[in-house]
Chain A
């Protein structure tokens, strides 16, 4: 007789942020195997970018891939296109880009922490963190005009400037958030019943993280010091006080801690940026079309 039971989870499930389907093979309360299916959100963005849109509107299209990380995709594609064109982005625009990326990181990390606590069955913590995330969303709205899905980055710089009022609001918001984050660090590290759920659970070893190409807080929690902010020199991260945060144990607890410490680092960076923002243009025009071949003509990456 079979001793295991199969439990389906998804494609729509309360604990999932995005549609994804798992099929867990459980032995009593222990998961011994899992089968996953991720093909629920194919929207043809890639094809649309290649055929329907001109190169300068592609950043706005790819921003629609993810509503929450609104700047990440558009910034990456913008910078890819810029590297193929003649021109220079002004330092001020670069700093503003970092500011937005870091604010985006703060609210995204907070969302993740909220969901981690909700999945541990701690709904009060979820409410608290989501409540503290709200000022950051309002800050984003103040800077860009939208809470999510802001088309802030464009080829040649950014679309909006910030003024002294925004600087003051940013500083007060970040100051309040910093004290809140320190409370969370205390809570996440000293709460006994949260430790029961997080410590030594879901551990990813350093070797596995290296072998499976883990990235982000997941990799850094295992002790793998990989961060695109330090490895790529596209944005002047070393000038604004970036420090890489690395965990040790690789379990959920370490991931939470890495996220919380990164939020603290991001707050520090944002404050440095708004305090020492240089004067200058936010948008420098890039002329012509990007150099290079069309997709069909180009060789695969490793050969070129």
Chain B
């Protein structure tokens, strides 16, 4: 019974749907404020029903499968992408008592499940039999390979610091001191996160002005909805990962609980939007140079810093 509740409602389907609808609306409103526009306005209070209506519209529209593609690959990929994007939430300690799958290897599961996602998106672009989609897919792969080294090394630093891969233990042992020690790792994680989520300035795979809509180009209707849903579920997985690993999870200043967790995720979404409003897109070459020349060596240095800090600052902890 509790498992059913977990799958359908709390860290499961309904939770992700609500998150997608609300965060989409929030992005549009926040972006509009940064652009000095109004944003969604007419439906509901401050236009908040707009995304709900948009998604309903997408679900009722025809889902076109172009001729010449492999229909199984083409239609399977959105479902698979959405499912895999939702899986990491099973390992996240949302509240002190809610972890669906309590495991000793939470960090590993999180990192691997986040890492698979771009590959599925590449396959969806590859299966579309369209030049724009294919190029978008290739760009995703290139970006993934470049950004993941930094991402993984940054994500593993809290595990090194606390000497455990258990997300629950990491959350519990987080303190102000460990937060300060982990700030460089958090910055690296955040930059790699932008590349992994294809957000500006690294929105190279769906660069509208170059390759129309990247791997999304051929998708419509329900399939497009599923891909968008996967994207937002992926946002949640990555934010939640950052919150647990670096920001102390559900711990708050006054009270612990899910609200603190949510506020931290929202804060990261806002920072991401602010970066989006402040930067133009970099090119592929610049992105690769940034990651391999600067971020990967820096993340290795960061590991060394974590080791030093563990020995000299937090000597008695682990």
- A residues whose Cβ falls under 8 Å from a Cβ of B: 5-8, 13-15, 29, 117-125, 127-128, 131, 193-194, 196-197
Contacts and interface: CB of A to CB of B under 8 A. Distances in A.
Interface of B: 34-37, 131-132, 135, 200-201, 203, 207-212, 276-286
Contacts of A194: 280
A277 B211 CA distance: 51
Nearest to A118: B209
Nearest to A16: B209
Contacts of B281: 120-122, 197
A117 B277 CA distance: 12
A260 B286 CA distance: 27
Contacts of B209: 14-15, 118-119, 121
17 contacts: A5-B135, A6-B131, A7-B131, A7-B211, A13-B212, A15-B208, A29-B283, A29-B284, A118-B209, A120-B280, A121-B281, A122-B280, A124-B278, A127-B36, A193-B282, A196-B283, A197-B281
Contacts of B203: 121
Contacts of B135: 5, 7
Nearest to B211: A7
Contacts of B201: 121, 193
Nearest to A7: B131
Nearest to B285: A29
Nearest to A14: B208
A15 B207 CA distance: 10
Nearest to B201: A193
A117 B285 contact: no
Interface centre among A6, A8, A123, by most B CB within 10 Å? A123
A197 B35 contact: no
A196 B34 CA distance: 23
B27 to A, nearest CB: 13
Given A124-B34, A127-B36, A14 B131 contact: no
Contact of B35 (A15, A29, A117, A123): A123
Contacts of B285: 29
A13 B276 CA distance: 23
Given A5-B131, A122-B279, A193-B280, A128 B36 contact: yes
Contacts of A119: 209
Contacts of B284: 29
A-side interface mostly? helix
Given A29-B284, A193-B279, 20 more contacts: A7-B132, A7-B135, A7-B211, A14-B209, A15-B208, A15-B210, A117-B280, A118-B209, A119-B209, A121-B209, A122-B279, A124-B34, A124-B35, A124-B276, A124-B278, A125-B280, A127-B36, A193-B201, A196-B282, A197-B282
A123 B131 CA distance: 25
B212 A121 contact: no
Nearest to A24: B210
Contacts of A131: 36
A103 to B, nearest CB: 23
The 6 closest A-B pairs by CB, nearest first: A121-B281, A122-B280, A127-B35, A15-B209, A120-B280, A124-B277
Nearest to A127: B35
A13 B281 CA distance: 18
Contact of B200 (A29, A117, A118, A121): A121
Contacts of A127: 35-37
B207 A14 contact: no
Contacts of B210: 15
Contacts of B36: 127-128, 131
Interface centre among B209, B280, B286, by most A CB within 10 Å? B280
B258 to A, nearest CB: 33
A123 B278 CA distance: 9
A104 to B, nearest CB: 25
Interface centre among B36, B211, B279, B283, by most A CB within 10 Å? B279
Nearest to A194: B280
B190 to A, nearest CB: 17
A203 to B, nearest CB: 16
A149 to B, nearest CB: 26
Contacts of A124: 34-35, 276-278
A194 B34 CA distance: 19
A124 B208 CA distance: 15
Contacts of B200: 121
A127 B277 CA distance: 10
A122 B281 CA distance: 7
A119 B208 CA distance: 8
Contacts of B286: 196
A128 B131 CA distance: 33
Nearest to B203: A121
B113 to A, nearest CB: 29
A14 B212 CA distance: 7
Contacts of A15: 208-210
A121 to B, nearest CB: 3
A250 B286 CA distance: 22
B212 A197 contact: no
B197 to A, nearest CB: 15
A121 B199 CA distance: 11
Nearest to B277: A124
A118 B283 CA distance: 14
A120 B285 CA distance: 15
